[in-house]
Structure 1
Amino acid sequence: MGSDNWNWHSSLDYDQWVSLPVVGPQPSARYKHGAVVIDEKLYIFGGSRNGRYLSDVQELDLRHLSWSTFKLKTQSESDSIKDVKLLEALPPTSGHSMLKWGNKLLILGGHSKDSSDTVTVHYIDLEACVSGIMEATGNIPVARGGQSVTLVGSKLIMFGGEDKNRRLLNDVNVLDLETMIWNVAETKQTPPAPRFDHTAAVHVDRYLQIFGGCSHSTFFSDLHVLDLGTLEWSQPQIQGNLVSPRAGHAGSHIDEKWFIVGGGDNKSGALETLVMDMSTLALSVLTSVEGKHPLASEGLTVSSAIVDGEQFLVAFGGYNGNYNNELFVMKPKPKDSKHPKIFKSSAAAAAAASVTAAYALAKSKSFDITTVENSKSKVDLSVEIGVIKEEKKALESSIAWVKAEKSTVKAKLDEINETHADLSKELHSVQGQLAAEKSRCANLEAQISELHTRLSSMESIEQKVQSLRSQKSALEHNTAAQKQSSSSAWRWMAP
């Protein structure tokens, strides 16, 4: 394939997954690895295959679709003695989180043979081609795998996971990357049930959204939102399509669209690619694949990438009965240019945040009034009025949609109630039949008992008859003998 002459990204249809051929030796198939796209290159690290943890770093040139192994320098290749501390070998790891920070890839959590009892922050320096450990202090969280980690400004937000002893977690821990200090977030309201292998995203740098995941016995399809400003949890109702519970799915967001791919419930893989509007929490099915498709896998990764100025989703790996190493890409349909983003100013952004809170949290929220007032003083009042009018339209549209949904749900509920009434009548009829059959069975059992008694009496009578027959036979035999004896005597006495 002449990859230099083939602009693969120009020939794709919108919102459809396509498997692309690649150049060079492919990475070994795996799942629960980490993946990040930087400057038209996809980097993957670690993962698991056949119960074995992996530690290799692979690099895919997305423009030319060529794989290569990203080689880290060894201590013997170090330029100076001070670099020796940096050249820590990356341990084989699975179920970790990998993010971009500056020119580094950060690797947190995951299961490995590392004996550490707390979360270690490994890094890969892409320019120096070295790896090491970023030392941290504070309330360092317990070691875990299957957690979610999201970047908000200079802070990493870690939620949930499963520790070495298979204890499920639902704590929130924050690492400030500028000070390398860990803190525990003391949240309010009801948190999500402890879980792992969920996915998470942050909307407008304020609302942490958690979707799906599993415990040891339950798979989830719920959505939870943590307001990072007030540290209050809520569980808003997802609008739109109902979806099956899943864990091990992957998520990536572009603007306000959160794309959720794959996952499963240990019995079957999730076939749908979902897209959620993070501002309205409306969830819909974007596209679906056939059963046993590599994208219907647990432990796959999905990353957002820009290639030659166009936005793509890139999926790799996963397990659905088979380990996968195919490369899939999707070109999401761009946002409708007829409806441009209206929240431009700082005041408008604050207003947008309040609307998002109304959608996402479904209850009253109060922001820092001082901040809002300061923002208002910096903008023209007409801009704010325009924003409020647009918000009113959005809310009216949302109310109309909710009313339509309410009507649909009511119709379904009436149908269910009618079905329930019919089933209740049928159940009562069946119960009456069962009672009649039970009575008939009792009568039959009484008759059988009586027959058994008669049968026992008949056996006794038969024995007596047999005894009388024996006596009669003996008597007849004796009578015959006597007649014969008498006849002989008379013959002897005859002249």
Structure 2
Amino acid sequence: MRWERVMLPQDQEPEQGREEAGGPGKRWAHTCNAIKGGRFLYVFGGFGIDNCQTNEVRVFDTVEQTWSQPTIKGMPPAPRDGHSCTNVGDNLFVFGGTDGMNPLGDLHILYTSSHTWISPITRGEVPEARQGHSAALVDKRLFIFGGYGKSPDNDNEVYYNDLFILNTETFVWNKAMMTSIPPSPRHTHSCSTWKNKMIVIGGEDGHDNYLSDVHILDADTLMWKELNTTGHMLPPRAGYLTITFGKFLLVYGGYTEDQKPYDDLYLLDVESAIWSTVTTAGAGPSARFSMAGDCLDPVSSGVLVFVGGCNGNLEVLDDMYYLHTGLTREHERRLDKLPLRKKLKLKCQEQNLTLGHDKDLVQVGVSTSSYQPVPQSIYGQPGGQSNPYNQSIPVQGKQIFEARLMEVFGDRCTIETIIDGKPLRGILFSSKPSTLPITFSSSSRRSDGDPSTVTKNGD
């Protein structure tokens, strides 16, 4: 996996110029949602300039790499943080949060096609006002779990482990009658969707205990089950970010009782219940909490985006990063319909991607007899730039070396390696141009030993 900082023209301008250019500026406790297949990112709410809560909407075009502040009709939600914002199609459902004085229990919808806010009239058992909760969409039902609010009798904080379900077509709320043992009351946790299930991870309870437990709710039976995870276990934390890509949940950042934010990255394979630490290439975000992000699939398969947050010195951040994961939706195909050879190949790719080692190192041989299969990489990464290549050096004999697969550009891919202590960059060409994501195999891609296929580092 590889980090890439998104550098925009306004990053080189003074802060006032950056705001005029339409970027969200410094932002924390906000939300970020990808729509239109990952083409647009909508950033809403949180704390903005001067640490004041905001209800502004900023939009990032991932193709043009530009920010804008659209003119939005209708009555906007009050400025807030600690809310949830959930995609229902290309519409964004904002619920709850706090205005800085009191928790909120209102529901607002942003119709992105017309850039219009509405406040629908809801019926049924409406959730108590709350903040620090999490939300997930299963089918057409919006699930709200946990968070904390205020007691109706006094100003004491009340922590929730209840579950409310909103029918997004009829706008009817129902308080779920759950079976089995639900997660303990908590806030600043995460809720994610996988198939017909909702997954709750970690957070902080009402006794200032930090958690890392994993619970799965069957959305059809409303039965909870605690997942018995193994592997490199996630340390307890709150205020982190979880982004889902198929059966993989990636957890980044957050904080714990020592008040030092994390900058680590963990991956949970929900099917196998195995946690893995993730080793990444490139300079990633600094340690932080209360950031926002989403997955850009399917426009950019397996590319995640991270925006803003707050560091350990309580300084608000305005940076933005992509994480190129190399994961693909192919893992979600039903294996029982695949030939045995493809099943084995997918299993090998999955193991390479989930192990807590730097698995973008691949074996590349200069002869067909020593060729090793290469895992699938990402195609069409936003912001990806080609590297300069000039002087070539000869390749001798049947030397085998390890190389990092960096980019794929149709009929060629770039690699980086070190040979005899010298950093090198190179290009591998296929025999036939392709506009599709490239999956390497021993029968379809080979290095032919041409000296031009390995070039000196452009730096």
TM range (shorter): 0.5 to 0.7
Q: Per-residue CA shift, 1:181-215, capped at 9, x if unaligned?
A: 0001111222211100101112221x221111002
Aligned counterparts of 2:46 and 2:104: Cα–Cα separation in 1? 20
2:190 corresponds to 1:193? no
1:197 is paired with a residue whose SS is coil
- Picking from 17, 28, 51, the partner of 1:31 is 28
Q: Per-residue CA shift, 1:349-372, capped at 9, x if unaligned?
A: xxxxxxxxxxxxxxxxxxxxxxxx
CA contact 2:33–2:85 (8 Å) conserved in 1: yes
CA contact 2:294–2:305 (8 Å) conserved in 1: yes
2:89 corresponds to 1:102? yes
> Is there any run of 5+ residues in structure 2 with no aligned partner, and where?
11-17, 352-459
CA contact 1:31–1:317 (8 Å) conserved in 2: yes
2:256 corresponds to 1:265? yes
Inter-CA distance 27–90: structure 2 relative to 1 (3 Å threshold): same
Q: CA deviation at 1:288?
A: 6.2
1:279 is paired with a residue whose SS is coil
Q: CA deviation at 1:336?
A: 9.6
Q: CA deviation at 1:114?
A: 8.6
2:158 corresponds to 1:171? no
Q: Per-residue CA shift, 1:465-486, capped at 9, x if unaligned?
A: xxxxxxxxxxxxxxxxxxxxxx
2:202 is matched with: 212
Structural RMSD (CA): 2.9
1:20 is matched with: 6
Q: CA deviation at 1:167?
A: 1.3
Q: CA deviation at 1:308?
A: 5.0
Q: CA deviation at 1:234?
A: 2.1
Q: Per-residue CA shift, 1:285-312, capped at 9, x if unaligned?
A: 1136999x74521111120004755431
Q: Which structure is higher in helix share?
A: 1
Higher Rg: 1
1:472 is matched with: none
- Picking from 255, 274, 283, the partner of 2:266 is 274
2:185 is paired with a residue whose SS is coil
Identity of aligned residues (%): 24
Inter-CA distance 311–186: structure 2 relative to 1 (3 Å threshold): same
1:225 is matched with: 216
CA contact 1:248–1:264 (8 Å) conserved in 2: yes
Aligned counterparts of 1:113 and 1:139: Cα–Cα separation in 2? 25
Amino acid in structure 2 at the alignment position of 1:91: A
1:93 is matched with: 80
Q: TM-score, normalised by structure 1?
A: 0.60
Q: How many residues get paired? A: 321
- Picking from 225, 234, 244, the partner of 1:253 is 244
2:60 is paired with a residue whose SS is strand
1:241 is matched with: 232
Amino acid in structure 2 at the alignment position of 1:333: G
Question: What is the 5 A alignment of 1:77-476?
Answer: 87-112=74-99, 119-164=105-150, 165=155, 166-205=157-196, 207-216=197-206, 217-265=208-256, 267-287=259-279, 294-306=285-297, 308-320=299-311, 321=313, 322-335=315-328, 341-343=333-335
Inter-CA distance 23–329: structure 2 relative to 1 (3 Å threshold): same
1:192 is paired with a residue whose SS is coil
Inter-CA distance 224–22: structure 2 relative to 1 (3 Å threshold): same
2:317 is paired with a residue whose SS is coil
CA contact 2:34–2:294 (8 Å) conserved in 1: yes
Q: TM-score, normalised by structure 2?
A: 0.64
Aligned counterparts of 1:290 and 1:102: Cα–Cα separation in 2? 33
Q: CA deviation at 1:243?
A: 2.3
CA contact 1:294–1:317 (8 Å) conserved in 2: no
> Is there any run of 5+ residues in structure 1 with no aligned partner, and where?
1-14, 74-86, 346-382, 399-495
